[in-house]
Amino acid sequence: MKRLILSAALLAGLPAAHAADAAITVYKSPDCGCCEGWVQHMRAAGIETKVVDTNDMQGVKDRLHVPAALRSCHTAVVRGSNQVIEGHAPATAVKKMLANRSVRGIAVPGMPVNSPGMGEMDGKLVTVDFAGAKFSQD
């Protein structure tokens, strides 16, 4: 609970994205537990999140042009902008991306243990853009 309050306080400092624009659809395999943890993290941050279970994550990632080197478990699309979120990106990074619609997508490659849905965040989690450049650190 303490962690939730802290992250809500951090997020309050960022410009609020319009709720409908910020709604995301998450594609994940039906048996992915850490994906479910990330969905809860997004919802706790006030991001409207719809979940679509699929057994063809490879196809989803291909269709959304997620760079092969940056892939993780789940993939999300921002409904208002078609921006893509690959893997366990923190809500702060997602909101930063929502504030800049020229960013095509962000990714947390693999499944690092210091990411939301995986484990405790330690301030060292690097989120990259789809060119592989550092986008944020949380």
* DSSP per-residue letters across the chain: -HHHHHHHHHHHTSPPPPTTTT-EEEEE-TT-HHHHHHHHHHHHTT--EEEEE-S-HHHHHHHTT--GGG--S-EEEETTT--EEEES--HHHHHHHHT-TT--EEEE-S--TTSTTTS---S-PEEEETTS-EEEE-
Please identify, using beta-carbon distances, which residue of 73 and 89 lies nearer to Cu ion.
Answer: 73
CB of 73 to Cu ion, least distance (A): 3
CB of 134 to Cu ion, least distance (A): 21
Q: Which residues in this chain contact Cu ion in the complex, by CB under 5 A?
A: 34, 73, 111
Please identify, using beta-carbon distances, which residue of 91 and 111 lies nearer to Cu ion.
Answer: 111
Please identify, using beta-carbon distances, which residue of 78 and 111 lies nearer to Cu ion.
Answer: 111
Please identify, using beta-carbon distances, which residue of 97 and 118 lies nearer to Cu ion.
Answer: 118
CB of 87 to Cu ion, least distance (A): 7
CB of 15 to Cu ion, least distance (A): 28
